[in-house]
Structure 1
């Protein structure tokens, strides 16, 4: 095995993250029908907030609060209540990407593995437990806890120091987001693998060391290395 450490993103790298399905389930529990038009309105607020969060302009708490302000007013509840209900619904519908468990089994015992995610703390442990993935990972690094989000150098530096500052040439970052996962890893000086399931064009200025279209393809690549 070429690497001593492999770090994975969580959402859409190991786990499906169907936010529409999660929101629909969450709002159904409040007696609200949440359709595609409501989702489109939600995303007008939510998507720019994630950009601001990843660029360090807002905190995790601000993101969690702001995205649910209008709904909290309509339902006469708090944004914290809605955010927790959403993360609970996302845990309830959580499924693994095809090949995730097989990949973990193939790598387990051969390389140290961890997760670096911009997702929220409340969702991570329960999701790992429900999918039987907890024991595969030595560390789960969560931007909300570190106070820095990918692609910032700081979250990768924090992770590197936490695992004893090993040779960066022996580290790999795997993720679906060419900006936060791949560019972040490249800027920190470690090798990267872009999980490009939908065969998108590589953004300008981003050159992953590897590119795969499935976790099965990643498994074949890593077992050979």
Structure 2
């Protein structure tokens, strides 16, 4: 099965790395003597999630997303939203953990196919996390939407990544991710094969149809390495 592929591209958050935003926010706000509650998190997500949709649709920039989600808290604490955002990303880097099976999967792929990350996450977190987990050397390309200027699902970020990987035949490239609207739809629009990492927390939209679907990285490893 590995012979079928030249490149495998991964999303980062909740695909290779555990992304516990609630724990990161609690850690960051503890530095301001704020006990960040379940309700605070629900209120934060009510602002944050629509901003991510706007970002993926190209309506706002990465910087606008990162500051707007902390505007209210910035006013409450008399702290610049940019400072809160930076503290949050640092906290997320400190608590980062690979998802179960990530290290073993990357070991199985390393040296056999080219491996890349395309992430809509932010530069400070992504780079720190690859350093801390020791994963950095596994990847032939790390593509961060904040640096490229366009997020997934925009085809341009996939085209940019494929150019970095030597422009392989698109049918020999697999995109793996947990977010249908950015990872899977973006991969499909770029002419790649796709694999949805289903965490069991949401249904797959009817109009987005991946080639494969897995519920763990070990399942993906079995799928890729079977003969």
Give the TM-score, by structure 2 length.
Answer: 0.97
1:21 aligns with 2:23: yes
CA deviations on 1:123-179 (whole Å, 9 max, x unpaired) are 111101111111110110000001100011111111122222211111110000111
**1:198: Cα distance to partner?**
1.2
Contact 1:199 1:213 in 2 (8 A): no
CA deviations on 1:58-106 (whole Å, 9 max, x unpaired) are 0001001100111111111111110110000001111111100110111
SS in 1 for 2:116: strand
SS in 1 for 2:174: strand
**Gaps spanning 5+ residues in structure 2: where?**
none
Aligned counterparts of 1:108 and 1:189: Cα–Cα separation in 2: 24
**1:199: Cα distance to partner?**
6.7
CA deviations on 1:1-27 (whole Å, 9 max, x unpaired) are 211110000000000111011000000
Contact 1:60 1:144 in 2 (8 A): yes
The count of residues paired between Structure 1 and Structure 2 equals 225
Aligned counterparts of 2:95 and 2:226: Cα–Cα separation in 1: 34
SS in 2 for 1:211: strand
Aligned counterparts of 2:67 and 2:199: Cα–Cα separation in 1: 31
Specify the alignment match of 1:100 in structure 2. 102
Aligned counterparts of 1:55 and 1:199: Cα–Cα separation in 2: 23
Give the TM-score, by structure 1 length.
Answer: 0.97
Aligned counterparts of 2:168 and 2:106: Cα–Cα separation in 1: 22
Aligned pairs (5 A) from 1:177-192: 177-192=179-194
Aligned counterparts of 2:204 and 2:128: Cα–Cα separation in 1: 33
**Gaps spanning 5+ residues in structure 1: where?**
none
Aligned counterparts of 2:134 and 2:148: Cα–Cα separation in 1: 25
Say what the alpha-carbon RMSD is for the aligned residues: 1.0
Aligned pairs (5 A) from 1:6-155: 6-155=8-157
Specify the alignment match of 1:173 in structure 2. 175
Q: Which moved more, 1:192-201 or 1:71-80?
A: 192-201
Specify the alignment match of 2:221 in structure 1. 219
Contact 1:174 1:192 in 2 (8 A): yes
Aligned counterparts of 1:20 and 1:199: Cα–Cα separation in 2: 16
Aligned counterparts of 2:116 and 2:219: Cα–Cα separation in 1: 19
Moved over 3 A (4+): none
Contact 1:118 1:142 in 2 (8 A): yes
